[in-house]
Every structure is written in C-alpha cells, then in structure tokens.
Chains A and B, each alone.
Chain A
C-alpha cells in the first residue's frame, strides 16, 4: 500500500535504524567489563520492549474486539501477535548470543529468560490457535480470550519466576536507583535504538494490518461473487 502514512513510516524507520546502527557501531564507547559483545544490548532491549508492547496490543485490541465487535480490532490483535512472536524470538536469540561469552552458556533458567520464554510459548499457542482454525468470528473471539488471559498472566509469571531464581543483570534500574549504563553516550544510543525499533514495529504493524484488511475484503468479494453466480445460474 503506497499510502503517505506507509511511505512516511518506511522512511522514518530506515533513517532511525541507520542512525541506531551508526551509534551502536561507531559512536558508543565499548563497555569496559563485557567488551564488544555488550553492543548487542542496544538491539536486545528494544526488541524486548517491542515484544512486550505488542503483547499489550494483542490484549487491548482483543478486549476491544470482544466489546465492540469490529473486525479491525481482531486484525490488529492478530498482526501484533505475529510481530510479537518475531521480536520475542529476536530477544531470545540476541540474549543467547550475549549470554554465551558472558555467562558461558547459551541458555540458563534465569528469571527473565524464563519469563520471556513463557511469553514466547504463549504467543506460540495464540498463533497455533489461529493457524489451526479458520478465519471466523468465533475463532477471533477465542483468540481474543486467549490473548487477554495471557496478558493477565504476565504479572504472576514475573513474580513466580523471580521467586524461583534470578541472575540477570539489572540493566536499567536496580533497587538502589542505579543503572548499568555509566556513560551518557550509552543512554543516548539506547534511546535512539528504542525509537528506531518502535518506529519499525509501527511500520510493520501498519503493513501487516493492511494485508489482513485486504484479505478480509477479498474474502468478502469472493463470497459476493459466488452469491451472484448462484443467482445468475437460477435466472
């Protein structure tokens, strides 16, 4: 879709992503203790933020669909779930790449890893439900209910897994109000990267939502056409 909105979002995400890449590789100083591998953090955290954001959208749009019943909310919820799955996967992958040199293992059952992994499984269940079922209003309601249940679960997952075990570094804020990014340039890079990923997410969401809307229109046109043919055959 060549709407001005789409072109604007594409341009904004290209430019902001270029800026983020420049800052990550050329501007920000290398972290003293972890070395070069720490730079992946500027992609890791924005991915996590976008994954959480899209999970929120899945639930809110799902609730709006149950309340108002308009198909666009269901399409938004579906599009957000797909992107959430993508970015949640990226969080796990970038986290693993970072964890191998720093912790010495690809995977460990730390609290945030476990929480993210459970979220990933929830997304997976949501998308499997969509994949197994036809695109009907009934399934849209089922998906909305599952999405809402998933988001309601997040606080309890976080608490339970934190009580279970944790070794993840407190990157942003610790209880004492300190954060792990000592250099202001690191904070700037993180903020630009966050903005870039958010714009990219909005663009992708916009594209996917457009595709889903078109698909719904196509299904309706096909149905109308079939009805017309039946009417014509009877005449």
Chain B
C-alpha cells in the first residue's frame, strides 16, 4: 500500500541534509517568535508556565505553516510534484511521505524551541520537559497533517501564503486548546496522567486529520 513512501522520504531528507534550508528557516523563525513573546510578556512572573506553553504553540503554528508553504513551493518550482504524480505512486502515499517529512522538520524546530524556551523562561531541566515531549509530538502530528493537506491548496491560489494560516488556525483550534492546556499543566509540574483527557483529545484530532488528509489528498494534488 505504501510503495514509494521510503524513496520520497529519503529524497526529501537527503535534500535537507545537503541544503539545510528548511531547518534553518524553521528554527530561526520559531526562535524569533519566542523572542517576540518574551519581549511582549516578560520572562518571569507567576504565570511563567502558561506563557511558556503559549509561546511554544504560537511558534509551532506559524513556523509549521510557513515551513509547509516553503516546502511545497520548492517542490512545485522544480516540477517535482508533477514527476511524483506521473510516477506509479498513489497520491495517498505521497501524502504519507510528505506528512512524515513535515513532522520531522517540525520536531526539529520544536526541539530548538524547547531548548530556547528553557533558557528564556528559566524552566528547570528534567522531568517536566520530558513530560512535554508526548504532548508536543501529538500536537505536531495533527498540525503536520493539516499543513501538508492545505499547503497544497494554498500553493495554488493567489495570496496563498496568507491564506494557509487562515485555514489552518481555526481547524487546529481544538488541538491548540488541548495542547497548550496540557503543556502549561506539565510545565507547572503536573503528571501526564492528570492531563490524559487533553492527550486523548489530541490523539483523536491526529487520527481524524491524518485519515482525512490521507483520503482527501488525491483531490487537491491532481492537476487539471
């Protein structure tokens, strides 16, 4: 079913290893967003965990949508998408591979954001940060699923780069609520079990939109 998944994934990762463009763009953009957050809200205070969690998710959403736009533009400029469509690979498989690539890039940017977050907000290294990892991974899976599907749409209409966040943010809203609530709780020292409801919600969101993207991708990728 997923024939062609491996080669597409390897191609994108090799390209990234040679140019490093996405990593540099995503990491610098998300770190900049964090700086803006810190300057706007101040690093300390009693609501440190909440502000830090909020900053993490804001950085993620905007870096994620921009990263997805960029990745797709590059594909289109080089004609790679057309090549992939001509090859005997199912559109759904292309989606799965692109989703995996987007998740890897977002996880990279997220790791950078987490490190900077710890430094900027004076969070303690250790268990709290480890507990943030599953929340974070569940969040980027849903975001990557949405961005991969909708960046294909926004890449082909006028003002698409602006339109992508307009489409993604309301759709991502439930995951954003769950993710930022759960992140704030674990950063403040709560256990993972105490945020299980939010984690389940995130997981449901992921399953729904990965499945939706997998099924709907062929309708947005084909060209007339």
Q: Which residues does A use to contact B, with CB under 8 Å?
A: 66, 118, 121-122, 124-125, 128-129, 132-133, 136-139, 141-142, 144-146, 148-150, 152-153, 156-157, 159-161, 163-164
Contact = CB atoms under 8 A, between A and B. Distances in A.
Contacts of A136: 224
Given A133-B158, A159-B174, A163-B201, A128 B166 contact: yes
B86 interface: no
B216 interface: yes
A233 B86 CA distance: 38
A124 B166 contact: yes
B198 to A, nearest CB: 8
Interface string B1-42: 000000000000000000000000000000000000000000
Contacts of B169: 121
Contact of A141 (B174, B177, B208, B219): B219
Contacts of B204: 156
B181 A164 contact: yes
A144 B219 contact: yes
B57 to A, nearest CB: 14
B136 interface: no
B201 A156 contact: yes
A182 B157 CA distance: 52
Interface centre among A129, A137, A148 (most CB of B within 10 A): A129
Given A132-B157, A142-B153, A149-B212, A161 B224 contact: no
Given A129-B153, A149-B149, A159 B201 contact: yes
B220 A153 contact: no
Contacts of B163: 125, 128-129, 132
Interface centre among A121, A137, A156 (most CB of B within 10 A): A156
Nearest to B165: A125
A164 B177 contact: yes
Contacts of A137: 224
Given A132-B158, A159-B174, A146 B153 contact: yes
A214 B72 CA distance: 36
A138 B221 CA distance: 9
B197 interface: yes
Contact of A122 (B153, B170, B208): B170
Contacts of B170: 118, 121-122, 124-125, 150
Contacts of A141: 219-220
Nearest to B217: A145
Interface in B101-116: none
List the 5 closest pairs (A to B, CB-CB), nearest first.
A160-B174, A121-B170, A133-B157, A142-B153, A156-B174
Contacts of B156: 138, 142
23 contacts: A121-B169, A125-B166, A125-B171, A129-B157, A129-B163, A132-B159, A133-B158, A141-B220, A144-B219, A145-B149, A146-B167, A148-B212, A149-B216, A152-B209, A153-B174, A156-B204, A156-B205, A157-B174, A160-B175, A160-B177, A160-B178, A163-B201, A164-B177
Interface centre among B163, B171, B209, B212 (most CB of A within 10 A): B171
A128 B153 CA distance: 13
Contact of B223 (A125, A138, A159, A160): A138
Contacts of A66: 216, 219
Contact of A161 (B158, B174, B223): B174
Interface centre among B158, B170, B204, B205 (most CB of A within 10 A): B170
Nearest to A67: B219
B150 A146 contact: yes
A136 B223 CA distance: 11
A148 B158 CA distance: 22
Nearest to B211: A152
Contacts of B197: 163
B193 interface: no
B46 interface: no
Given A132-B157, A144-B219, A145-B220, 17 more contacts: A118-B170, A121-B169, A125-B171, A128-B166, A132-B160, A142-B220, A145-B149, A146-B153, A148-B216, A149-B171, A150-B171, A153-B171, A156-B175, A156-B204, A160-B173, A160-B175, A160-B178
